[in-house]
Amino acid sequence: MSRAAIVKEKVELAVSDGTRMAAYVARPEQAGPHPGLLLFQEAFGVNRHIRSVTERFAAEGYVVIAPELFHRTAPPGFAASYTDFPAAKPHLHAVTTETAEADIRSAHEWLHSNAHVRPNEISSVGFCLGGRISFLANSLANSVVPLRAAVSFYGGGIAPGLLDRASKLQAPSLLIWGGLDKHITPEHRKAVTEALSAQRKVYVNVEFSRADHGFFCDERASYEPRSARQAWALTLEFLRS
């Protein structure tokens, strides 16, 4: 199936705490409505890679918004090099559960009210920091952020920081990990699945044994193309089904 032509734009959203948040948006050129997707960044910002992933999902038929989660501490368009984590670190540490919830709600409201979007078909996908934010978004699903599905690629900090949210998850979850990941220990990965099982949540848990942290990103040294291709196909199928 050929990929659809897309439209790209930048938008600015009002957040409930009085801040303004930039976001990158991509959607099919063809008239909708289409399913919506919240796309949450890595620790390095809404950079070229995240924009590229946004566009890939748009070409698959989604209206996608990638909010800039560092907007309180970094200038619009901030992106750190993958070889310069210290530049990203203060912004990463400034993201709290409370500020992330406000940003999630703002981005979800934008999708939900957009004429191009089917409001009952909004899902989330996130990478690294964004994997944790996608999990967090799913814990808000019963109230102001109803989701159809939530995908977390190597979500750092889900364990132990968000395990108390497991009981609140509403949408099915897809958890994707790298077996070689030293940032997220096997014990933490196991703690996530045990918490979801204990709460009888619907989830799929996948570990790519030859993949390291960040393996999906083709601009990182840890890129593992075979695992990335398989994870992409699995994610598309999970979101569709």
As a whole number of angstroms, the distance between CA 239 and CA 60 comes to 11
pLDDT in tens, 160-215: 999 999 999 999 999 999 999 999 999 999 999 999 999 999 999 999 999 999 99
The CATH H-level superfamily of 6-240 is Alpha/Beta hydrolase fold, catalytic domain (3.40.50.1820)
Strand-pairing partners, residue 152, are: 126, 175
Residues of the chain with pLDDT under 70: 1-2, 141-144
Domain ranges of the chain: 6-240
pLDDT at 1: 45
Question: In this structure, are residues 122 and 148 in contact, taking their beta carbons and an 8 Å threshold?
Answer: yes
CA distance 227 to 231: 6
Beta partners for 65?
A: 25, 38
- For position 203, what pLDDT does the model report? 98
Q: Distance between CA 46 and CA 52 in Å, rounded?
A: 10
Could you write out the DSSP letters of every residue in 80-94?
--TT-HHHHHHHHHH
Burial class of residue 200 (count of CB atoms within 10 Å of its CB; 0-12, 13-18, 19+):
exposed
How many Å apart are CA 33 and CA 42, to the nearest integer? 28
Which residues are annotated as catalytic? 128, 181, 213
Q: What is the DSSP string of 158-217?
A: TTTTTGGGGGG--S-EEEEEETT-SSS-HHHHHHHHHHHHHTT--EEEEEETT--TTTT-
Look up tokens 């204990």; give the residue: 198
State residue 58 phi and psi, 5-degree precision: -60, -40
pLDDT in the model for residue 143: 64
The pLDDT value given to residue 4 = 76
Give bridge partners of residue 60 from the DSSP assignment: none
Phi-psi region of 45 (alpha: psi -120 to 50; beta: other; left: phi over 0): left
Under DSSP, is residue 194 helix (H, G, I), strand (E, B) or coil?
A: helix
| pLDDT in the model for residue 2 | 55
